[in-house]
Amino acid sequence: MTTFDEISPGTRIRGLDEGGIAEIVQVSRFGADARNLVFRINGRVGERLVYRGEETAFSVVEGGRGLGFDADGGLFRLAS
């Protein structure tokens, strides 16, 4: 669960769309109780108007390391 005012670009949210985890691209405010969210999910862009109270159905996914190199650096230099 996240608070309504914490939703910002770069936030990853589960439950916003049935396609999976959505990454927020843009947030536009419509007064104190509504936000228009533009998000990216599985290579497609979507948009949704969300009202205060709906955020209880969402869960924020913590960002981890996307792609990391944790192998032997010496072997990498040898191969390159």
pLDDT value at residue 37: 94
Domain 4-63 has CATH 3.40.50.2000: no
What is the rounded CA–CA span in Å between residue 76 and residue 67? 16
52: tokens are 């205060």
Q: In Å, what is the CA distance from 44 to each residue of 3, 20, 75? A: 25, 11, 37
pLDDT value at residue 19: 86
Q: What DSSP element (H or E) covers 21?
A: strand 20-29
DSSP 63: P
pLDDT value at residue 54: 87
Show the low-confidence residues of the chain (pLDDT under 70): 1-2, 63-70, 78-80
Q: Where are the domains of the chain?
A: 4-63
Q: What is the pTM (predicted TM-score) of this model?
A: 0.70
**Burial of 39 per CB tally in 10 Å (0-12, 13-18, 19+):** buried
